[in-house]
Amino acid sequence: MSIQIVPESERSPGVGEIAALQLPSAKLPYTQRSSRLQALAQDHAMADYLLWAADLVNAQQTTAQALPLPEEESQYLGAALQRSKKAPLNSAKWKRSVHWQALLEQFLVQLTEQPRMHTSAVQKALQSLQSADVKQREVWADALLTALRGEELADVASLPEPGIAQLLWCALSMYWRQLSSQLPASGQAEMGDLNHLCPVCGHVPTGSLVQGGAQAGLRYLQCSLCECQWHVVRTTCTNCDSTGALDYWCLESEKAPIKAESCNGCHTYLKAFYQQLDHQLELIADDLASLALDAEMEEKELARSGVNPLMLPALNVPS
C-alpha cells in the first residue's frame, strides 16, 4: 500500500478508518522537544550534545513563532495539491519562496543568543551562512535536499560543509513543516510501493512511532523534513517495503520503549518508539538520546535508513 494525498473535500472516511496520514499540527513542537532534550540530558553520557541540540531547537521555536507562513503561500497550497496528489510538496519539484530564506536569516540571529552556540565550529558555520549571498544559499539547499533524498548529486562540490548543512536543514525543515501543516488535505491508502518515503515531501523518516491510547499498536513513520506522519503496517519493512522477516533489538528488556527494527532483506534498520511504554517520548529527541542503540546496530553491519534532523553530518560540537 502507498498513500495518495487528496483534498479534504474528496475524502470519504469509513467507519473506524485508520488515518493514512497525520499532518503536523499548527502548534509548534519545538518547546516540547527542547524540554525533552533537557530532561534526557540529565546524567546522560551525551549531555553536552543534547543541551546543544536543545538550544538549536529553542532558536527554531522563536523563529517559527515570529515568522509564520505568509497567507499568500498558504493559499497557493490548494493549487499545488490539484497539480499532484503524489508528494505535492516534493522537495525536488517545489519552488521555494523567499520565506525560507527569511526563516534562515531569523534563525541565524536567534542562534547568536543561545548560550551553547559559541564554539568555533558553530561560529564558523554561522559566519559562512551570514556572508553567503542568496544564490549560494539556494545552491547549498538544493544540494542538501538532493543528498538527503538519497539521489546522486551532479556536482558534489555544491554540497555544504557539515556545519552549514546542519543549520540549513533546521531552516528548511521549519519551512516544510509550515507548508505541510497548512496543506488542505488528508491521506488515502492505495495499492503501490514507496511506503518508506514521505507521501507529502518525498523524504525518508526519522523513525516510527507506535501509538498508544485509542490507536494502540498503529505504526506511523515521521518525516525527517516536514514532520508529517504516515501509516505503515507493522509487518512491512520501512525501507524496502518487503514483508519478510523483521527482527527487533533493544538495549534493555523486551519492554524497552525504544527498539531497532531490522530487515533481513535489505539489511537496514529504523528505530521504533512505543508511546504506550513511555508517554513522555518525543521522537526526534529520544532518537538523539539513544545513539547507543545505533552503535549496536552498526556493529551488526546494519545501515540506518532514517535521518534525524538534529543529527546530520556532525558539527564539531560538545560530545
pLDDT along the chain (319 residues), means of 10: 59 61 91 98 96 97 97 87 83 96 98 91 95 97 93 87 95 97 72 76 95 82 97 89 86 87 94 94 97 95 94 49
Residue 318 has a pLDDT of 40
pLDDT at 109: 97
pLDDT at residue 194 in the model? 64
State how far the Cα of 207 lies from the Cα of 308, in Å rounded to an integer.
8
**Is there a contact between 100 and 94 (Cβ–Cβ < 8 Å)?**
no
Query: Phi, psi at residue 138, to the nearest 5°?
Result: -65, -40
Q: Please give the angle made by the CA atoms of 99, 22 and 233, to the nearest 5 degrees.
A: 135
Instruction: Classify burial at 120, counting beta carbons within 10 Å of its beta carbon; exposed 0-12, middle 13-18, buried 19 or more.
Output: exposed
In a domain, 149, yes or no: yes
The parent domain of residue 121 ranges over: 47-184
Other CB atoms within a 10 A radius of the CB of residue 67 amount to 18
Q: Is residue 161 part of a domain?
A: yes
CA 24 – CA 200 distance, rounded (Å): 11
- Cell numbers linked to 297: 546496530
Distance CA 313, CA 213 (A): 36
**Amino acid at the residue 91:** S
Question: Domain for residue 141, yes or no?
Answer: yes
pLDDT score recorded for residue 45: 96
- What residues contact 302, with CB distance under 8 A and at least 6 apart? 260, 262, 267, 268, 269
Quick check: is 300 in a domain? no
Q: Is residue 72 part of a domain?
A: yes
Distances (CA, A) of 63 to 99, 105, 107: 12, 9, 6
**pLDDT for 2:** 61
Q: At what angle do helices 99-111 and 162-181 cross, to 10 degrees?
A: 130
2-7 and 219-223 strand pairing: unpaired
Residue 195: predicted pLDDT: 78
Dist CA 8 CA 99 (whole Å): 26
* Cα distance between residue 55 and residue 43, in whole Å: 18
- Beta bridge partners, 214, equal none
Q: How many domains does the chain have?
A: 1
Q: What angle do CA 67, 69, 71 make, to 5 degrees?
A: 120
